[in-house]
Amino acid sequence: MIRDWHLPALMAAAVLASALATGFSQPSVSATGQPATSVRSLAAPADFAHIADPKARSAAYFTELGKVLTNPRCTNCHPATDRPRQGDEARLHQPPVFRGVDGFGLETLRCNACHGKANFDPARMPGHEAWHLAPAEMAWEGKTVSQICEQIKDPKRNGNRTLADLVEHIGKDTLVGWAWHPGPGRTPLPGTQEEAGALVEAWAESGAYCP
């Protein structure tokens, strides 16, 4: 039998993914931390068909989407302060970096000084060509799903986006999409970006009610 080493929780998914990809003979990659299936998937809009009340169903879509929005992959860069967080345990970003005037960091340490155009897996370095912080008014860190829901509908606090824009942002934006492919050492968001997009769309079309 091949047993996995005791990886911290954040490594579990990455190891699982790469183990499958490389054909490692591992029947029981059972890392400490969350059970793989429950956090790794997102329900589809159809899964909520049993909810009769349309408002409740709409809110339920958002609650499901909340698994994504409150995940450290999202909240780390939608921080409550000017300093982002890092890693599955959402520790304060090291080295200390700050929002700066444009969300791309202070002049002395810009985001792209370290974050390249794409992930650099040999160094577990995440990257994207537009790596930056969400604006301060879009801070999600520490908020409940309900609070985020009210906030995300408010054009003053969502970057002046329409509901359709939100479907596009969450369902298609490539920086958002990074969070499903964060590279080794980080747990991806549950489900897929398409599934998340479908939830936003269902929520928007059903009146965008908040939980």
* Runs of H (alpha helix) within the chain: 9-22, 36-40, 54-69, 72-75, 145-153, 163-172, 174-178, 193-205
* Interface pick for other proteins out of 54, 96, 142, 155 (rule CB under 8 A): 96
Q: Which is nearer to other proteins, 92 or 175 (CB)?
A: 92
- Closest contact distance (angstroms) between CB of 159 and other proteins is 27
List, in sequence order, every residue forming a beta bridge with 86; answer none if it has no partner: 91
Q: Is 185 in the site for other proteins (CB under 8 A)?
A: yes
Contact 195, 179 (CB under 8 A): no
Taking the mean position of all CA atoms in its chain, how far away is CA 152?
Answer: 15
Q: Is 164 in the site for other proteins (CB under 8 A)?
A: no
Q: Is 39 in the site for other proteins (CB under 8 A)?
A: no
Q: Compute the distance between CA of residue 40 and CA of residue 125 in angstroms, rounded to an integer.
A: 22
- What SS3 class is residue 105? strand
3-state helix, strand, coil in the chain (%, to 5): 45, 10, 50
Q: Is 35 in the site for other proteins (CB under 8 A)?
A: no
Q: Which is nearer to other proteins, 3 or 55 (CB)?
A: 3
Residues 113-142 that bind other proteins (CB under 8 A): 113-114, 116-117, 120-125
Q: Is 24 in the site for other proteins (CB under 8 A)?
A: yes
Q: Is 49 in the site for other proteins (CB under 8 A)?
A: no
List, in sequence order, every residue forming a beta bridge with 28; answer none if it has no partner: 3
Taking the mean position of all CA atoms in its chain, how far away is CA 37?
Answer: 17
* Interface pick for other proteins out of 184, 192, 208, 211 (rule CB under 8 A): 184
For 210, the token pair is 């908040």
Contacting range for other proteins; rule: CB under 8 A; set: 12-20, 48-56, 156-164, 201-209: 12-20
Q: Which is nearer to other proteins, 123 or 164 (CB)?
A: 123
**Residues near other proteins, by CB under 8 A:** 1-8, 11, 14-15, 18-19, 22-26, 29, 32, 86-87, 89, 91, 94-97, 106-110, 113-114, 116-117, 120-125, 184-185
